[in-house]
Amino acid sequence: MDSTSLIDQIRFFFATRTQTDYLIVGGIVLLIVVYYLVQYFKHYTHLLHLRKQRKIVHDMLDRAQLQNENFELQLGTGENKNNYSAVLANIGNDTLTFNVLLHVNKVLAETPAEIYFCVRYDHKRHFFKFRVPIIDIKYEKTTSIVYVKKPTNLDIGQKRTFFRITPLPNSVKLLALWLMDKDKPLPKTTAEVGTPLVSCSFHQDKVPAQNTLDVADISGSGIALRVPDDPLSDQQINIGSIILCLLVYNESFHGDEHLVNFCCTGRVTNIRELHDKKTKLPFKILGIEFTNWAMLESGNPNINWFHQAKATGIGPILQWVTRMDIEKRKGTPLSPTMAAERS
């Protein structure tokens, strides 16, 4: 077939086409063009969304790092799940590096980690969490270095929960409890506090009586007190009551004592009525949420109060609780009262 006959056939084909045929062909071409334009726009929009989302994630992590916020790493599954307090050391393009002041087992590498943190902006604290796989775990002196995949998105509104711990043996030296009048202002000096409703001093190597005031557990946001029933029999302590508490604790676990005089007020959030296993005497567990706190200085009668926001933890107590948790992971026993109670 020569080129002349091919051109003639093409001319004949177009000459025999009707206007309807051209409209159909044009419509099909237009639909194909529109389809590919829509797909391109969707893909471009998705890329913009991912880029914006990654920037938000990076900005929140960067802000938390600049604010020296603690990250809570939940590693392991089931009964082997453990919480670790960590510091964000580095933000890479695809990985995050955390420093953990505890031993993290290498068998957790390539397992999922659930990570909680919060940032401060607009005069508020905003809580986030994300779930990513652990890439690797390395060790450097007393620090575990945990590498995880950088998240592409964050879950908003997931509040970090402060873990509670039973104090170590001989760490609590004095404990006193007052019932506050809601209509009266906070005491400005120690002379305004008056006589405690119940108190107990703890001496080294001496197990307190079972039916006595004690700390059941404590966290950065609250405390649970084990209170004998007798001092409470004539007092109207209910959910919502305001309690003033003095806690003298030793923040040094090795060597010389370093006592801290911690004073706080708190709202009773729950009350449990129990009986001692050995003496059968009744006692109560008061769950208290911190509302105000102060550190008392020896020889200074003034009390300088700090308001405690509901969502945040008290710095000195958080540090004490974290250090006790580290000591307990080394195998330190429970406090004398709790150890005797559980035996």
**Which region holds residue 307: left if phi is over 0, alpha if psi is between -120 and 50, else beta?**
beta
Can you tell me the distance from the alpha carbon of 118 to that of 104, in angstroms, rounded to the nearest whole number? Answer: 23
In the chain, domain spans = 14-161, 172-342
Give the DSSP H/E element, type plus range, for residue 156: strand 155-156
User: Which pLDDT value is given to residue 312?
Assistant: 66
User: CATH 2.60.40.770: does it fit domain 14-161?
Assistant: no
User: Which SS3 state, helix, strand or coil, does residue 180 take?
Assistant: coil
- Global confidence as pTM: 0.52
User: Which pLDDT value is given to residue 209?
Assistant: 52
- Quick check: do 14-161 and 172-342 share a fold? yes
User: Which pLDDT value is given to residue 294?
Assistant: 93
Can you tell me the distance from the alpha carbon of 16 to that of 8, in angstroms, rounded to the nearest whole number? Answer: 12
User: Which pLDDT value is given to residue 110?
Assistant: 86
Q: CA 176, 275, 339 angle in degrees (round to 5)?
A: 70
Can you tell me the distance from the alpha carbon of 141 to that of 172, in angstroms, rounded to the nearest whole number? Answer: 31
In DSSP notation, 104-139 reads --GGGTTSEEEEEEEEEETTEEEEEEEEEEEEEEEE
User: Which pLDDT value is given to residue 295?
Assistant: 93
CATH architecture, domain defined by 172-342: Roll (2.30)
> Whose CA is closest to 125, among 310, 292, 289?
310
Cβ burial of 175 (10 Å; 0-12, 13-18, 19+) is buried
Ranges of the chain whose pLDDT falls below 70: 1-4, 10-15, 17, 78-81, 123, 157-163, 203-211, 231-235, 255, 309-312, 329-343
Give the DSSP H/E element, type plus range, for residue 65: helix 19-66
User: Which pLDDT value is given to residue 341?
Assistant: 36
Cβ burial of 114 (10 Å; 0-12, 13-18, 19+) is middle
